[in-house]
Structure 1
């Protein structure tokens, strides 16, 4: 059981997500079809010299296990400044296609580089994670008309607040069942400033120090800024979609001169 002294902490953390998840007064366009996210990650934890990293492959589908249209290949290098403070430099390739005609090739290919810092608060049971990220993004659209060799460029800021609660053990160890809830907001300096909101709630199982699996519900809402063109005002539009998210995290072993810190199985992306 979770000590009663930590109930207010958990309640406060979860209530803090509600304002971010609350729908804005916009033209809402819900997608009634449930999508699928599949994520596979390999993590190299920071060792005696604090350096680590990760690599990940991700694919998404418009329906449940069908109509796949999106892939991510990415990886990065991390440095543990302190026990609960990690910096990361990472990048990846992101490809979006039309699931109705995959043979035509991707509609858009994005190259991305980002800088990130993660702060983790480890109470006696509840784990809180604050993740801050700045992204540089280069796009190549299939039907876009731009000079040869050039790409469109954008930047974006992201913040994720993540909570993880082990259920059958006081800490994350072998055979640990846990709950995880996070909310992530995306900010575009060029507008719309509030570009996206991603809310996840799921259940995970840590088999041992290497293997962790998670499954849950993920809602992603994208926002299009209001516009006024040719004497016609169009309010902000929100397109939201529910997804089933399944992930596998494999943590590599490495030699350490001291006992490693508690591993918190947070999804790297």
Structure 2
């Protein structure tokens, strides 16, 4: 009964990935950041058990350079419910703090509190594992000295879609002592514009030690898009700023007293 919805969600997600990056690059001034950044992610996951309820908690920090110039932190968590073997709903929230790495003592430039609703579809296509994630976010901001930047506001919404692939290298499935590859692309949509707000492309190598511990190291390119504008009789096209980052992550999966242990893909909840 779930086969048709699964195929529909998969096809719609792949179509979005095929079309939107092309639209985002049209008439866009690209500004690459030559300096690599660093992301650290630590996650604890409670998988859905016999009663289908689970959850997670995560802390994340980011740096403008390689292991230096730290400026950003995330604290977040959520509750999940497994509708079926390959469908999971989640309600989650978090606190996101951005500072000036040159003067951290002044406190954050802005603090965001976020709430989101999420649907995740997982497909086990023989050795290759596929994940489709759909997310709707509500975001509230508090700016330093309560000054709202021009063109911004204290409340925003955003939609996200991520297509993630996993390939075990030394086993057919994810089990103890499994090395694997993970590749994903995630697109961000902003109803206020620019509609195609961000693209995040990731590739990494991971290792699942056992049913509890998984580590990954990889690369992520994050491209942010700003809207085009027309001021003083001068048209400025949409601008994109791209930055490469090294990503280091660790996931600890809590155990469940179940008679059978289903196969889990080592997905990053971020």
Length-normalised TM-score, structure 1? 0.90
User: More displaced, 225-234 or 207-216?
Assistant: 225-234
Q: How far off is 1:21 after superposition?
A: 5.5
Give yes or no for contact 1:21–1:183 (8 Å, CA) kept in 2.
Answer: no
How far apart, in 2, do the equivalents of 1:183 and 1:53 lie?
23
Give distance in 2, aligned partners of 1:16 and 1:54. Answer: 28
In the TM superposition, residue 145 of structure 1 has moved relative to its aligned partner by: 3.3
| TM-fit CA distance, 1:263 | 1.2
Instruction: Answer yes or no: is the 8 Å Cα contact 1:130–1:161 preserved in 2.
Output: yes
Alignment correspondent of 1:224: 226
Distance 1:182 1:245 in 2: 13
Deviations 1:114-146 (A, max 9, x none): 000000001121000000000000001114437
2:105 alignment counterpart: 103
Q: CA deviation at 1:63?
A: 0.3
**How far did 1:232 drift?**
1.4
From 124, 132, 135, the equivalent of 1:133 is 135
Q: How many residues align?
A: 252
Q: Map 1:234-245 onto structure 2 (within 5 A).
A: 234-245=236-247
Give the gaps of 5 or more residues in structure 1: 1-12
Secondary structure of 2:68's partner? coil
Distance 1:194 1:178, change over 3 A: same
1:261 is aligned to 262
- Alpha-carbon shift at residue 166 of structure 1 (Å): 0.2
Task: Give, in whole Å, the separation in 2 of the partners of 1:20 and 1:260.
Answer: 38
The offset of 1:14, in angstroms, is: 10
Partner of residue 56, structure 1: 58
CA distance in 1 between partners of 2:104 and 2:147 (Å): 22
Partner of residue 117 from structure 1, selected from 105, 116, 119:
119
Is the contact made by 2:46 and 2:255 (CA closer than 8 Å) also made in structure 1? yes
CA deviations 1:145-193 (Å, max 9, x no partner) are: 37xxxx7100000000000000000000000000000000000001110
1:67 match: secondary structure: strand
SS in 2 for 1:128: strand
- Structure 1 segment 72-87 matched on structure 2, within 5 A: 72-87=74-89
Question: Which of 171, 175, 178 matches 2:180?
Answer: 178
1:199 aligned partner: 201
- Superposition CA RMSD, Å: 1.9
